[in-house]
Structure 1
Amino acid sequence: MSISDATDSRQATPGQAEPAITRDSVTVAQIMNLPLDQVLTGLDIQVIESSITDASFAGGVHMGNGQKITVFMPPSRDPFETDCVTRYLIAQALGLDITPLPKPFNVEIVDNTTDLRDAWTRAVSA
């Protein structure tokens, strides 16, 4: 599914209340089109600044106990890039059907924190 092809009839029309965003019913269109703060609040996702400053690190996501999602973003990146990558990582973490990012981005999915640290070390060292 590409973002341009995404349609979501649950989107509010002018003057109509925006439907609640929940993990049970979230769509790629909601993640990509709603204000980011609404997505983060509605899905109980935290975004924090990572200490990884390597230019090849675009961001990471961790799904912890109780399915708590934390997105790690590098410091001092362009706000537009940060917004786009954050939204993409959220969709990936939730297992939604989203078009892969183009090269040079490489998304690696690992299943625990130790593997995640190792993957980041490999990515930054490459």
Structure 2
Amino acid sequence: MNILQSSNGTRQATPGQAEPAITRATVTVAQIMNLPLDHVLNSLDIQVIESSITDANFYGGVHIGNGGKITILTSPGRDPRVTDTLVRYLTAKTFNLDVADLPAPLGVKYTDITEQARNAWVKAVSA
């Protein structure tokens, strides 16, 4: 997996300009859609990773881990503009912001895999 964006907090504002403040409690759709993507991801502590899922129907997904750590998975080989749009869309949806649904044939499927992940972990450590 390649890490496309890292939220390591190293991005600096353009000299003489302050970046607008973004927090998880106050983030808006306008900020997510209009500010530089790396600023949005760094501010919200989101990591984007290119997954190894090559299924043509998979464009991306969100994993919310312990402590609220957010990781967005993207599919490999997509046009960078498609990936940018998807990451922004998934970020807005993750924070339950009011964004329009993606057009057909794209769709969003919500799956809570907590129990499946827990069962896989138990199986792995007990083997």
TM-score range with shorter-chain normalisation? 0.7 to 0.9
Moved over 6 A (4+): none
Contact kept in structure 2, 1:59 and 1:74, CA below 8 Å: yes
Give 2:61's aligned residue.
60
- Looking at CA atoms only, which structure, 1 or 2, has the larger radius of gyration? 2
For 1:16 and 1:30, locate their aligned partners in 2 and report how far apart those are by CA, in whole Å. 16
**What RMSD in Å do the two structures reach over aligned CA positions?**
1.7
Give 2:70's aligned residue.
69
3-state SS of the aligned residue for 1:88? helix
Give 1:20's aligned residue.
21
Could you tell me how far 1:104 is from its partner in structure 2?
A: 0.6
What is the aligned residue count? Answer: 102
For the structure 1 residues 66 and 57, does the alpha-carbon distance in structure 2 shift closer, same or farther, using more than 3 Å as the test? same
Could you tell me how far 1:17 is from its partner in structure 2?
A: 2.5
Give 1:30's aligned residue.
31
TM-score of the two chains, using structure 1 as the length reference: 0.75
Q: Structure 1: which 5+ residue stretches go unaligned?
A: 1-14, 117-126
For the structure 1 residues 113 and 76, does the alpha-carbon distance in structure 2 shift closer, same or farther, using more than 3 Å as the test? farther
Contact kept in structure 2, 1:62 and 1:113, CA below 8 Å: no
For the structure 1 residues 110 and 56, does the alpha-carbon distance in structure 2 shift closer, same or farther, using more than 3 Å as the test? same
For 2:106 and 2:19, locate their aligned partners in 1 and report how far apart those are by CA, in whole Å. 32
Could you tell me how far 1:111 is from its partner in structure 2?
A: 2.5
Counterpart code for 2:45: D
For 2:41 and 2:115, locate their aligned partners in 1 and report how far apart those are by CA, in whole Å. 25
Identity of aligned residues (%): 64
For the structure 1 residues 85 and 27, does the alpha-carbon distance in structure 2 shift closer, same or farther, using more than 3 Å as the test? same
Q: Does 1:102 align with 2:103?
A: yes
For 2:115 and 2:78, locate their aligned partners in 1 and report how far apart those are by CA, in whole Å. 26
Could you tell me how far 1:99 is from its partner in structure 2?
A: 0.7
